[in-house]
């Protein structure tokens, strides 16, 4: 299956599951292919035939965007270099969960989350250690007795009960032995940090913006925005407004060409899904105040302003109000 066909299938699957999806990110640079939301669940989705093509810089960027936008970065693919992705298994590439389309269907349409994840050494499950301990004690078994039944050490059983995950083989043994399910779902929609047990999001990359972009960031900082530069997104930065816990998608100063208009429309589409405002700063007169909900603001309107409220008001007046989606 071609990547384009796979992307179409994933987009249709998300729609069938009740997700609002953005336009596809057809402009470069792009770390993700589309944003999708259902209620409070926001996904930033990258679609690849071979998930090994997903590199570390893109993984770091998607995880940072997930943190800024309170969303989950997700790779959907068919295979690795060595094998096909197994349905029902969560893989990881650079800290981002990667799943087969069938796994996505089960999760979003059938409401059946995956129970297995891949890690160095094999396939594993999250087991309920407290439940294992309760069942063992109810039978009057010692740690040593359970260890003998499982063919592992006493120390390993103690770790299982303290929360260490188990191989699929051990999980199956436990469930057959006690006739009780012990596996907890892999929380794909809870964000990459939750899935990976608190693995920290990579720090922001060192950037060397051009003078105009640097000036733009300074204007926004003076207006009270916390500006997070991006490297692989269709927008130059994410600006956090502490007063209203509002995020704004930003593009650098640019001449308002047809290509810029296309980018502004894409930013508006992403903004509707991520519940953010979008703004495009131009270095000339674009002849309009907005494009599909993206605010268009000229250099001269903000560059010399010493009034932070003026900058905020321009963005809010010209951009589309974030809506519940």
Question: Is residue 101 one of the residues assigned to a domain?
Answer: yes
The Cα angle at residue 167 between residues 165 and 169, in degrees rounded to 5? 140
Based on the fold, state whether residues 110 and 75 are members of the same structural domain. Answer: yes
pLDDT beyond 90 at 205? no
Among residues 162, 195, 228, the one where a domain terminates is 195
CB environment 232-252: b (16+ within 10 A), e (fewer): bbbbbbbbbbeeeebbbbbbb
Question: Is residue 261 one of the residues assigned to a domain?
Answer: yes
Write the DSSP assignment of 69-120 as a string of letters. HT-EEEEEEEE-SSSBPPTTEEEEETTEEEE-HHHHHHHHTS-----EEEET
Q: What does the pLDDT read at residue 255?
A: 81
Based on the fold, state whether residues 138 and 42 are members of the same structural domain. Answer: no
pLDDT beyond 60 at 163? yes
Q: Which of 92, 47, 85 lies closest to 193, judged by CA?
A: 92
Confidence of residue 193 (pLDDT cuts 50, 70, 90): low
Q: What is the mean pLDDT of the chain?
A: 86
CATH number of the domain to which 66 belongs: 3.40.1350.10
Q: Tokens 């733009």 — which residue? A: 216
Task: Tell me how far apart the alpha carbons of residues 59 and 120 are, in angstroms, rounded to a whole number.
Answer: 18
Based on the fold, state whether residues 94 and 142 are members of the same structural domain. Answer: no
Question: Is residue 324 one of the residues assigned to a domain?
Answer: no
Q: What does the pLDDT read at residue 208?
A: 62
Query: What are 23-76's pLDDT values in tens digits?
Result: 999 877 778 999 999 999 999 999 999 999 999 999 999 999 998 898 999 999
Q: What does the pLDDT read at residue 209?
A: 65
Question: Is residue 325 one of the residues assigned to a domain?
Answer: no
| Domain span holding position 133 | 124-184
Query: What are 236-261's pLDDT values in tens digits?
Result: 889 887 655 566 777 777 788 888 88
Among residues 147, 166, 195, the one where a domain terminates is 195
Question: Is residue 204 one of the residues assigned to a domain?
Answer: no
Query: What are 283-301's pLDDT values in tens digits?
Result: 877 778 999 999 999 877 8
Question: Is residue 273 one of the residues assigned to a domain?
Answer: yes
How many domains is the chain built from?
Answer: 3
Write the DSSP assignment of 181-243 as a string of letters. --EEPP-GGG-HHHHTTSPPPPPPPP----HHHHHHHHHHHHTTEEEEE-SSSSSSEEEEETT
Question: Is residue 205 one of the residues assigned to a domain?
Answer: no
Paired sense of beta strands 41-50 and 72-79, if any:
parallel
Q: Give the pTM.
A: 0.87
Question: Is residue 323 one of the residues assigned to a domain?
Answer: no
Based on the fold, state whether residues 305 and 245 are members of the same structural domain. Answer: yes
Based on the fold, state whether residues 223 and 308 are members of the same structural domain. Answer: yes
> Is the pLDDT higher at 54 or at 193?
54
Which of the residue ranges 96-100, 198-202, 292-296 would you say has the lowest mean pLDDT? 198-202
Query: What are 265-288's pLDDT values in tens digits?
Result: 999 999 999 999 999 988 877 778
CATH number of the domain to which 271 belongs: 3.40.1350
Confidence of residue 202 (pLDDT cuts 50, 70, 90): low
């Amino acid at each position: 299956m071609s990547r384009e066909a796979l992307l179409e299938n994933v987009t249709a699957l998300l729609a069938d599951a009740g997700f609002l999806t953005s336009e596809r990110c057809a402009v470069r640079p792009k770390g993700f292919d589309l944003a999708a939301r259902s209620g409070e669940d926001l996904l930033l989705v990258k679609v690849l035939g071979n998930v090994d093509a997903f590199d570390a810089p893109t993984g770091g960027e998607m995880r940072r965007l997930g943190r800024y936008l309170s969303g989950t970065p997700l790779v959907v693919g068919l295979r690795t270099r060595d094998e096909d992705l197994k349905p029902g298994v969560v893989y990881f590439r650079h800290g981002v969960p990667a799943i087969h389309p069938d796994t996505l269907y089960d999760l979003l349409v059938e409401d059946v989350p995956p129970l297995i994840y891949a890690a160095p050494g094999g396939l594993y499950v999250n087991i309920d250690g407290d439940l294992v301990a309760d069942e063992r004690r109810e039978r009057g078994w010692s740690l040593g007795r359970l260890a003998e039944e499982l063919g592992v050490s006493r120390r390993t059983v103690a770790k299982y009960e303290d929360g260490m995950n188990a191989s699929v083989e051990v999980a199956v043994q436990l469930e057959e032995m006690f006739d009780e399910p012990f596996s907890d779902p892999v929380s794909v929609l809870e964000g990459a940090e939750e899935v990976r047990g608190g693995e920290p999001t990579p720090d922001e990359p060192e950037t060397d913006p051009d003078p105009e972009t640097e000036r733009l960031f300074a204007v926004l900082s003076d207006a009270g925005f916390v500006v997070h530069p991006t490297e692989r997104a269709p927008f130059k930065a994410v600006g956090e407004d502490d007063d209203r816990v509002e995020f704004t998608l930003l593009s650098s100063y640019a001449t308002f060409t047809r290509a810029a208009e296309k980018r502004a429309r894409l930013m508006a589409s992403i903004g509707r899904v991520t519940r953010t405002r979008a703004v495009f700063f131009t270095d000339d007169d674009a002849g309009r105040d907005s494009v599909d909900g993206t605010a268009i603001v000229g250099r001269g309107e903000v560059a010399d302003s010493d009034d932070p409220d003026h900058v905020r008001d321009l963005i809010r007046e010209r951009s589309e109000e974030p809506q519940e989606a």
